[in-house]
Amino acid sequence: MNTILGVDIGGSGIKGAPVDLALGDLAEERFKVLTPQPATAVAVAAEVRQVAGHFDLPGGPDLPGAPVGVTFPGVVTNGTIRTAANVDKSWIGVNAEELLGDTLHCPVTVLNDADAAGIAEMTFGAGRDRYGTVLLLTFGTGIGSALFSNRQLVPNTELGHLELNGCEAESHTSAKAREDAGLSWKEWAPRVAEYLAYLEMLFSPELFIIGGGVSRKADRFLDAIHGVRAEVVPAQLQNNAGIVGAAMAAASRKV
């Protein structure tokens, strides 16, 4: 199967598209809906169904039939949600693969959103052919992280929740924090640099990949990040990395 639907659940939006697995790129223009508020499991599942129904997939628009990959902004183990920082806490303990599988009438693979983005970037993007320690960070409503050691993923790191300067790092350094504080990209860069320096002290990566929506604006802030020894580059798949990685995870799963 060369095309599989990937869906990326975020704190503010839910987006998806069929993915060409050979190219590691979207096969159609992505479709996005707003994340419901409150973002309960049932409400989000209904919006995921709307995203899936937008595409003409095997089994019909409402019954995709083929495997679907879905990302989630929190820790996911064996398809079950363990943390839910930027969606409703009622997700915790829910088997998301069962819930979404029943909703979409197809096999569903659920994984951490940044892990999905990292898988895509390590295969098709900025981390391709890179070894050693690589750390992808997605800056959005929060901060997601995907840690790789010699191309092997260490899942569910969720390093945006590390304490830095007495608070969770993402509350001070996420893209949302930049917008809430009214900071320019250059004014935001020192916050990012401080966070990267802290992660560098902990993990000594050779490469930081900066993902999420901010990767489209990398030319506005990356050159203002100082005091970090590791190479810092933007994600090449930009904000589509999570969708691509979700589809890859669904394709590789042995059902």
Domains of the chain: 3-115+241-252 (3.30.420.40), 128-236 (3.30.420.40)
What's the pLDDT at 2? 86
Residue 255: the pLDDT is 46
Mean pLDDT (10-residue bins), the chain, 255 residues: 91 95 96 97 97 76 73 97 94 98 95 98 97 97 96 98 96 97 98 98 98 95 97 96 98 73
Global pTM reads: 0.94
Predicted local distance difference test score (pLDDT) of residue 253: 83
Instruction: Tell me how far apart the alpha carbons of residues 247 and 107 are, in angstroms, rounded to a whole number.
Output: 12
Dihedral (C-alpha) 125, 128, 131, 135: value to the nearest 10 degrees?
Answer: 10
Output the pLDDT for position 58: 56
Tally the residues of the chain: 255
Give the DSSP letter string of 57-126.
Answer: -TT-SS---S-EEEEESS-EETTEE---SSS-GGGTT-BHHHHHHHHHTS-EEEEEHHHHHHHHHHHHST
∠ Cα 243 247 123 (to 5°): 85
pLDDT of residue 61: 44
